[in-house]
Amino acid sequence: MIHTTPRGRRSVTRRGFIKGSAAAIGLTATSGAWAQSGDKVVSLLSWPGHGAQDVIGDFEKATGIKVQAKEYTGGEEMMALLQSSPPGTYDVVLSDAEYVIQLQQAGLITELDAGAYPLDDYWPEFQQFPAQYVDGKLFAIVVDYGFLGLVYNSSVLSREEVDSYAILSSEKVKGKVGMYDWYLPNMMCLSLANGNRPPHDIDGAKFEAVKQSLFALAPEMSGIGVWSSVFSQLTNKESLVMPGVGAWAALLLEQGGVPIKAVVPKEGGLQWTEMLAISATSQKQDLAVQLVQYLTSPEGQVKEATKSAYWASIPNKAGWKLLNEQNPKAAESLEHRLDKRNVMDEFKEGKIFIRDVPKQQSIEVWNEAWTEFKNM
């Protein structure tokens, strides 16, 4: 039996493993950028960290707009909150990319005016990012992202040893493989290991092969659990390697002195993507637009990149430039340097696949396989 624990709050673990705040990055408040609007409040529904003062404090000072943040801990919870809350409860919604089309089809978010946002400042790969659009209309904008592949203990394993997902079945890590308790990233990394590109759109035979690859890892496992368990396993060397986890977790642990690195193996990796949308029932559309404009601006993007909850890559190239000017050490850690190899090279090499829900099977079918694996 593989030990599992209930899925927990991502906010607690992301914050709990940072020692000290991220380096403060100044923002010159410019009254011309966002009009002063007095004592007004805009409601943000998001993953943890985006409504914290280290992200939106300067926006509030510059505009007089108060950001009231409600945090959720999973996409299903986000959908439920939006569908069950009175109209107008939320103004701005931060969502994982795979939920944007569901939000649009449910009538929960409104079409955006592309000309109101700094898409021209974005890297070309993000200007026409498919998940932003539904039927050719803009409904959401990427605010941050990151890659998922393997994280590993660099004091025990070399970079060469983790260049393939094959490390997961190596004798060197037997009984030392950990996982976060979510079927999607783990099974899709194994799908990539099996040569499926993209990993989420596979036929029945390929899905059965992914299941067998997953089940074969049962003897290798040290544990499956919530994020607090993931971090403790990596910190205590109970787990030496984990699939489906990315650089954001490795950076938090490294900041705490734990020798954990992240890598996208040669078979490829996944991209998690967080996007901003405006609620279809918001009664404060003008305030909502201003908040989205700020978070996607160069100044807001620097804050998003180094927020205390978790660091992340950002899509705004002008934001990269500002980050390199204000905090070159953070730019180096995030591989956002403009004068050397950076995270955008992973796109150019065709190694990155946008995380998405299964296409040829139901989510329930994949979850059933995951549950069977956990009970082995």
- SS3 annotation, the chain: CCCCCCCCCHHHHHHHCCCCCCCCCCCCCCCCCCCCCCCEEEEEEECCCCCCHHHHHHHHHHHCEEEEEEECCCHHHHHHHHHHCCCCCCCEEEEEHHHHHHHHHCCCECCCCHHHCCHHHECHHHHCCHHHEECCEECCEEEEEEEEEEEEECCCCCCCCCCCHHHHHCHHHCCCEEEECCHHHHHHHHHHHCCCCCCCCCCHHHHHHHHHHHHCCHHHEEEEECHHHHHHHHHCCCCCEEEEEEHHHHHHHHHCCCCEEEECCCCCEEEEEEEEEEECCCCCHHHHHHHHHHHHCHHHHHHHHCCCCCCCECCEHHHHHHHHHHCHHHHHHCCCCCCCCCCHHHHHCCCEEECCCCCCCCHHHHHHHHHHHHCC
Same domain? For 37 and 136 the reply is yes
- Given its phi and psi angles, is residue 49 left (phi above 0), alpha (psi -120 to 50 degrees) or beta? left
Q: What is the pLDDT of residue 30?
A: 34
Same domain? For 129 and 155 the reply is no
Q: What is the pLDDT of residue 14?
A: 38
Same domain? For 34 and 125 the reply is yes
Instruction: Answer yes or no: are the C-beta atoms of 343 and 273 closer than 8 Å.
Output: no
Q: What is the pLDDT of residue 2?
A: 41
Same domain? For 171 and 238 the reply is yes
Query: Which residue, chain included where needed, has tokens 């978070």?
Result: 295
Establish if 166 belongs to a structural domain. Answer: yes
Range of the domain at 168: 146-270+353-374
Q: Are strands 269-278 and 352-354 parallel, antiparallel or unpaired?
A: parallel
Q: What is the pLDDT of residue 299?
A: 98
Q: What is the pLDDT of residue 347?
A: 81
Q: What is the pLDDT of residue 349?
A: 85
Q: What is the pLDDT of residue 39?
A: 59
Establish if 2 belongs to a structural domain. Answer: no
Same domain? For 299 and 340 the reply is yes
pLDDT by residue for the chain (376 residues), tens only, comes to: 343 332 233 333 333 333 332 322 233 333 334 444 445 999 999 999 999 999 999 999 999 999 999 999 878 899 999 999 999 999 999 999 989 999 999 999 999 999 999 999 999 999 999 999 999 999 999 999 999 999 999 999 999 999 999 999 999 999 999 999 989 999 999 999 999 999 999 999 999 999 999 999 999 999 999 888 999 999 999 999 999 998 889 988 988 999 999 999 999 999 999 999 999 999 999 999 999 999 999 999 999 999 998 999 999 999 999 999 999 999 999 999 999 999 998 888 888 998 988 999 998 999 999 999 999 9
Residue 289: CATH number of its domain: 3.40.190.10
Q: What is the pLDDT of residue 346?
A: 80
Same domain? For 235 and 361 the reply is yes
Same domain? For 241 and 219 the reply is yes
Q: How many domains does the chain have?
A: 2
pTM: 0.82
Same domain? For 62 and 76 the reply is yes
